[in-house]
Amino acid sequence: MHEETFTQDYLLNGRIMLRQPVNGYRVAIDPVFLAAAVDAKEGESILDIGAGVGAASLCLAVRQPQCKIVGLEVQRDYVRLAAQNIELNNLRDRVEMLHGDLLRPPPRLAAGTFSHVMTNPPYLESHRGKSSPHADKNKANQETDVDLESWARFCLLMVKPKGTVTFIHRADRLDHIMAYFAGKLGNITIYPLWPGKGKSAKRVIVSGIKNMNGALKLSQGMFLHEADGRFTRDAESVLRDGEKVEL
């Protein structure tokens, strides 16, 4: 990639600088909400699966300055960009980006060693949706040989007992996500992100605890937009102020 194919953008009201491609996958609000939903405590370790250019990892590192985050990303160009973003934000002592595939993860990633696992998987099944002319965008948006079930299985493998797994995904795939986690995660919370009043949720955050038997909770979620299209105050508190999402 040439220098002119990148932009330098900002998240959390300028607290995070982010280099990302002009074309291909561009960071939207989903990784910011994903990071805000992880209740990380001081000294805990977090694995960010499908980390892209590092947006969710950096947001969580800024919100919880005493945790350690490892990102896993299959696309080498994004791994390089994520490493640059880590340097730009002076977070190399707490955020690390690894290149690897869920089916062939780096040997350094030991199963059952992370306090939390968070992920923003590709939203489209391989046979659905239009293909982009940008191959990296296709990989970010569409499942390939690693389907949603494989993502769920890998998350469960990597998190410690009593640790949390947190997904952000399309609301119309909630049934799939719940089927994959049945009997493996407990205390599950489903948190809808409503585009606006009177509109169906397009995104959901799903979070649960490994090896727990607690009841499922359907949260009231959050309205993202006012009638005029502006973000609601609740959404602004996450996107600009770095506040937690209270699941």
Number of domains in the chain: 1
Return the CATH number at 8.
3.40.50.150
Q: What is the pLDDT of residue 24?
A: 79
- Residue 61: domain span: 3-183
Residue 91: pLDDT band (50, 70, 90) is: very high
Whether the CB-CB separation of 116 and 46 falls below 8 Å is answered with yes
| 231 is a domain residue | no
The structure's pTM equals: 0.90
Mean pLDDT of the 62-85 span: 96
Q: What is the pLDDT of residue 134?
A: 43
Q: What is the pLDDT of residue 23?
A: 84
Q: What is the pLDDT of residue 130?
A: 53
Mean pLDDT of the 201-212 span: 97
Question: How do residues 218-229 score in pLDDT, each as one tens digit?
Answer: 999 999 999 999
- Residue % of the chain over a pLDDT of 70: 89
The CA distance from 48 to 176, in Å, is: 21
The CA distance from 117 to 70, in Å, is: 10
**Cα dist. 31→4, 107, 118, 130, 149 in Å?**
24, 26, 10, 22, 20
Mean pLDDT of the 82-97 span: 97
The CA distance from 124 to 86, in Å, is: 28
The CA distance from 57 to 49, in Å, is: 10
| 75 is a domain residue | yes
Q: What is the pLDDT of residue 137?
A: 46
Question: How do residues 156-206 score in pLDDT, each as one tens digit?
Answer: 999 999 999 999 999 999 999 999 999 999 999 999 999 999 999 999 999
Nearest to 171 by CA among 201, 127, 126, 148: 201
- Dihedral pair phi/psi, residue 221, rounded to 5°: 70, -155
Q: Which value, to the nearest 10 degrees, does the dihedral of the CA atoms of residues 235, 43, 19, 128 take? A: -60
Q: What is the pLDDT of residue 25?
A: 83
Mean of all residue pLDDT scores within the chain: 91
DSSP state of 126: T
The CA distance from 133 to 112, in Å, is: 38
| 200 is a domain residue | no
Nearest to 22 by CA among 62, 60, 53: 53
Q: Look at strands 6-11 and 16-21 and give their pairing.
A: antiparallel
Q: What is the pLDDT of residue 124?
A: 63
Q: What is the pLDDT of residue 125?
A: 60
Question: How do residues 96-148 score in pLDDT, each as one tens digit?
Answer: 999 999 988 999 999 999 999 999 999 866 545 454 444 454 444 444 568 99
Mean pLDDT of the 26-46 span: 96
Is the pLDDT confidence value at 235 over 80? yes
| 135 is a domain residue | yes
